[in-house]
Structure 1
Amino acid sequence: MRKILAATLLTGAAVASPALAQDVNPTFTGPRVEAILGYDHTGAGSSVDNDNGRDDQSIDGLLYGVGAGYDVNLGSAVVGVEGEYTDSTSKSGRSDPTDQFGFGRVKQGRDLYIGARAGILASPNTLVYVKGGYTNTKLDVLAGNTNVETDTNFKLDGWRIGAGVERAINANTFAKLEYRYSKYEDAHIDFANGTTTDEFGIDTDRHQIVASLGWRF
């Protein structure tokens, strides 16, 4: 009887050990979703020179949105793909209805991003990473010296790079702190009557510092 009981306990321990190990170490791999909140700054790029004395104009506000991605843990390194949908409270001030970094009075609209990231595990629970990809955003034109949005907007195409730190809270939840820089170099205008201009060159920079809280499946 003792031998049977000992064998049963050993068999149970052997089955439980891999299961426990799996519970401890599934971080930084698989699909994930997250909520995003942070600081947003959009302004004239470094090569802008329109001789109007306002080349440093910009808009600042609160960035918010959601993201999703899929990561693969390679052991000491992690690679993955990701996408985001964000919006922002940034908009031109009503005190100066004149030219604002080349777009007039505008409000920052929705932003779409798709890209990839790669990082190294600084510790079993901490990932340090870099990222990059494509971004497309809108600048909604405001009506005169008001906060009323019109049906005319600028569509901006560009690229984004960034870096951040992700910390696994447990096997399923994580928190991130990230800086990203976006450069927009092409744009077109969608008018209220449905017509669209041809693409034209621009030089617009965007800086963001964001925090995220997410869930990994």
Structure 2
Amino acid sequence: MRYAIAAALVATSALAAPAMAQDVNPAFTGPRVGILGGYDGIKPGSTERLPGDDTDRTVNGFVYGGEIGYDFAIGGLVAGVEAELTDSTGKVETNRLNPNTFGFGEVNTGRDIYVGARLGGLVTPSTLLYAKGGYTNARLNVLGSDGTTSRRENFELDGWRLGAGAEQALSYNTYAKLEYRYSNYSSANFQFADGAVTRNFGIDTDRHQVMAGVGMRF
């Protein structure tokens, strides 16, 4: 999958090259705000699985939220910074009394914060192809139980995100976009119901998302 993302980055650069000779459409520059929605799949990374274990442990859901950003022209390219706040409907349930699940009866894919940058070029006067990357912090909400008492706690996951997409100018100040994003989380901590937080520990968690969005520029 990382090779696919790398290929998308190369393709973005190659397709952006012809745009160097033309001005950037003003519809792709300035502050923007939008809403997002799409597919969300999170699962243990390859180092978390036993050799030969091909079981699909993906927790699927619908991801939704919003974004803000600012884009500007650099020669014939478009560069920008952006931030997102999303949530997800992904959920997995287990037997709370099974000692192999540590009393976790339910795990929900919670809110995700993303801060990053993007770079792209025009492939037509109204179509932008771009690559993006940055920092992501996700939460897994846990319903824990000892058989008599249930408490809601959570894991905080830190990682990075890479992606690529296409944005279409619908008018001078409106746009629609479609993008694929891959995230990997390598560090986490656990927050108990009383507010106590553990030290960070290593993890390997993969996340794949296909996101659509619409928005406005100002």
TM range (shorter): 0.7 to 0.9
- TM-score by structure 1 length? 0.79
What amino acid sits opposite 1:157 in the alignment? D
Q: Give the match's secondary structure for 1:194.
A: coil
What amino acid sits opposite 2:207 in the alignment? R
CA distance in 1: counterparts of 2:215 and 2:58, whole angstroms: 30
Q: Give the match's secondary structure for 1:27.
A: helix
How far the C-alpha of 1:66 sits from its partner, in A, is 0.3
Give yes or no for the alignment of 1:209 onto 2:213.
no
CA distance in 1: counterparts of 2:81 and 2:121, whole angstroms: 15
Structure 1 residues 104 and 77, CA, compared in 2 at 3 Å: closer, same or farther?
A: farther
Partner of 1:69: 69
Give yes or no for the alignment of 1:38 onto 2:38.
yes
CA distance in 2: counterparts of 1:77 and 1:124, whole angstroms: 12
CA distance in 2: counterparts of 1:63 and 1:34, whole angstroms: 14
Give yes or no for the alignment of 1:134 onto 2:121.
no
8 Å contact kept, 1:141–1:153: yes
Mapping of residues 123-162 of structure 1, within 5 Å: 123-143=124-144, 150-162=151-163
How far the C-alpha of 1:194 sits from its partner, in A, is 1.4
Partner of 1:81: 81
Structure 1 residues 150 and 117, CA, compared in 2 at 3 Å: closer, same or farther?
A: farther
Q: Give the match's secondary structure for 1:47.
A: helix
Structure 1 residues 85 and 161, CA, compared in 2 at 3 Å: closer, same or farther?
A: same
What amino acid sits opposite 2:48 in the alignment? V
CA distance in 2: counterparts of 1:117 and 1:97, whole angstroms: 46
Ranges in structure 1 where 5+ consecutive residues have no aligned partner: 1-24
8 Å contact kept, 1:69–1:83: yes
How far the C-alpha of 1:96 sits from its partner, in A, is 9.1
Give yes or no for the alignment of 1:166 onto 2:160.
no
Give the CA RMSD over aligned residues: 2.5
8 Å contact kept, 2:144–2:153: no
How far the C-alpha of 1:207 sits from its partner, in A, is 0.3
Structure 1 residues 95 and 127, CA, compared in 2 at 3 Å: closer, same or farther?
A: farther
Runs (4+) of structure 1 exceeding 4 A deviation are 50-55, 94-100
Structure 1 residues 158 and 55, CA, compared in 2 at 3 Å: closer, same or farther?
A: farther
How far the C-alpha of 1:51 sits from its partner, in A, is 7.6
CA distance in 1: counterparts of 2:44 and 2:152, whole angstroms: 23
Q: Report the identity percentage.
A: 52
User: Residues 126-153 of structure 1, C-alpha deviation per residue, up to 9 Å, x if partnerless?
Assistant: 0000000000010000245xxxx94310
The higher radius of gyration belongs to 1
Q: Give the match's secondary structure for 2:47.
A: coil
Partner of 2:59: 59
* More displaced stretch, 51-60 vs 126-135: 51-60
Structure 1 residues 181 and 97, CA, compared in 2 at 3 Å: closer, same or farther?
A: farther
How far the C-alpha of 1:52 sits from its partner, in A, is 11
Partner of 1:18: none
